[in-house]
Amino acid sequence: MQLYSTNQDCIKMLVGNKVDREPDRVVSREEGIALANKLGSLFLECSARTQENVEKCFEELALKITQVPSFLEKGCATARNVLKQKQEYQQSTGGGCCF
């Protein structure tokens, strides 16, 4: 998380996935919350398969972004910087959909 967030105001969210597969769980919810607190990030669990909390992840991030005035003032410049970093990362690693 720290590697790709050069902006101190950056809002981070740790997302535990595959909550629909409870019997196969490796990391407890409490461990996820503890790590998120240590990293200073939000925490949610979701399931792409069942769509549980997927929309909520985006809603929470959007809400937090609107609560940081510097994001509203510098929004366009920040977005360009993120896109530039993503492009540079993808070029250096040969592609990939995640960042």
Is domain 2-93 annotated with CATH 3.40.50.300? Answer: yes
Run of H or E residues at 13: strand 13-16
CA 19 – CA 98 distance, rounded (Å): 20
Please tell me the predicted confidence (pLDDT) of residue 10: 78
Tens digit of each residue's pLDDT (9 = 90 or more) over 36-91:
999 889 999 999 999 999 999 999 988 988 887 776 665 555 556 666 676 777 77
pTM over 0.85: no
Backbone angles phi, psi at 23, to 5 degrees: -65, -25
Tens digit of each residue's pLDDT (9 = 90 or more) over 33-48:
999 999 889 999 999 9
- Which pairing describes strands 13-16 and 42-45: parallel, antiparallel, or unpaired? parallel
Tens digit of each residue's pLDDT (9 = 90 or more) over 2-25:
556 666 667 889 999 999 999 999
Please tell me the predicted confidence (pLDDT) of residue 54: 94
**Alpha-carbon distances, residue 70 vs 11, 56, 67, 74, 76 (angstroms):** 12, 23, 9, 6, 11
Domain regions of the chain by residue span = 2-93
Q: Is the pLDDT of residue 1 over 80?
A: no
